[in-house]
Copies of this chain bind each other. A is one copy, B any other.
């Protein structure tokens, strides 16, 4: 997805190989469930962000791997646990881990991936600061997920807050880990970019899932905008416009990061904008 990967010595396939290696020393049933989850797809966006930032900041391959691997593993742990918490039976067009392997295996698989994410930090040059950044990201993600589970139809503003809490920290984390390793400032800026990207990404998802979310009683920005008096077609337009604005915000913060460390965030923003335009212009 990102062109900048070809300039780094660590490739996305190396990250997948490292995940495989981690799973080889894991309990068989949990490793099988994790492999099943990863093999169902996923663009490894957070790993790509980490590799991109590491390349821009000229970090070593070992450190680049740490920046890519920890957020990617945490993201997938959160998907496995979220699907169980939300009762979502399908992920990436196949049964979710809990639906395929049972709830107990899904809990253990998510636990293992959280633990593995922290082991990846062993290769970070500033483990103490990196551990703090990872825990902060986990804490805020859990906050967002907990609020999401307990909210039926939030106001549009509250929807955006929850989307940023739930998905922003793990988008920003790969950049934050690379910044810490390079000893340069910008973590707050990266987090603001991550939050804006999270809102844009979740809006795209919600526009596509509006009908199924209505049927399932899930939160959705279109339904939140409809609930405050907008007709469905206008709700979609407003959602699109807010997502465009979020992408502008994301690019502004990403471009403000030192040493081009936010280039991969800009690439992600461009990709999301292209998808948004397709959806916006679809009837």
Residues of A within 8 A of B (CB): 25-27, 29-30, 77, 81, 84-85, 103-105, 107-108, 110-112, 114-116, 118-119, 121-123, 127-128, 131-132, 134-135, 138-139, 142-143, 145-147, 149-150
Contacts and interface: CB of A to CB of B under 8 A. Distances in A.
A146 B115 contact: no
Given A26-B139, A121-B131, A127-B127, A85 B107 contact: yes
A217 to B, nearest CB: 15
A138 B114 CA distance: 10
A110 B114 CA distance: 11
User: How many subunits of this chain does the assembly comprise?
Assistant: 2
Contacts of A25: 139
A55 B138 CA distance: 32
- Could you say which of A132, A138, A146 has the most chain B C-beta atoms within 10 Å of its C-beta? A146
A85 B114 contact: no
Contacts of A26: 139, 142-143
Given A77-B111, A85-B107, 10 more contacts: A26-B142, A27-B139, A85-B103, A104-B149, A115-B118, A115-B139, A116-B135, A118-B118, A119-B134, A127-B128
